[in-house]
Copies of this chain bind each other. A is one copy, B any other.
Amino acid sequence: MSQQYMKVEKIERGTVIDHILPSMAFDVLRVLGLSGLSTDKSMSILVNSHSKKGGRKDILKFEDVELSAEEANLVALVSPRATINIIVGGKVVRKFNAEAPKVVRGILTCSNPNCISNQNEPVTTEFKLGPDEGHRYVCTYCEREIVDLAKRVSA
């Protein structure tokens, strides 16, 4: 018996996020607030897929979800260099790279237990991208740098 052919559906409208770092697809879902989402739309999650250029990558495909540029950039928090493809009428109408946002509000939590944002005060977390190349985020309140971004995404 030959192996069944599995097809990822072509969608009429939606978003494909390609070139996600291997094994980071679930973190991307979390950062977009799409994890645990109950939907009747099609969604495909490919983890550790072989990339044509060698190496592995993850890919996400959502039917009827159109990410704004702002949302798409959140992807860069956990997977820099991911590409976002917006699909309308079955065709890719827009393609762009996720770019690390300059400021992130309310998505990440500070790792400093003494930070004001961890004191049950009505404070929205805020992190700013550092000026250097290293994709570093620093808490606006206590100036602590976030070391592992994926682990700091609030549930």
Contacts and interface: CB of A to CB of B under 8 A. Distances in A.
Interface of A: 1-4, 6-11, 16, 18, 22-23, 26, 36, 38-50, 56, 59, 61, 63, 85, 87, 90-93, 95
Nearest to A94: B1
B38 A42 contact: no
Interface SS majority for chain A: strand
Contact of A4 (B16, B41, B43, B93): B16
A87 B36 contact: no
A95 B47 CA distance: 24
Contact of A92 (B1, B41, B49, B56): B1
Contacts of A7: 8
Contacts of A8: 6-8, 46
Contacts of A46: 6, 8-9, 42-45
Most buried by B among A4, A16, A85: A4
Given A1-B91, A40-B22, A6 B48 contact: no
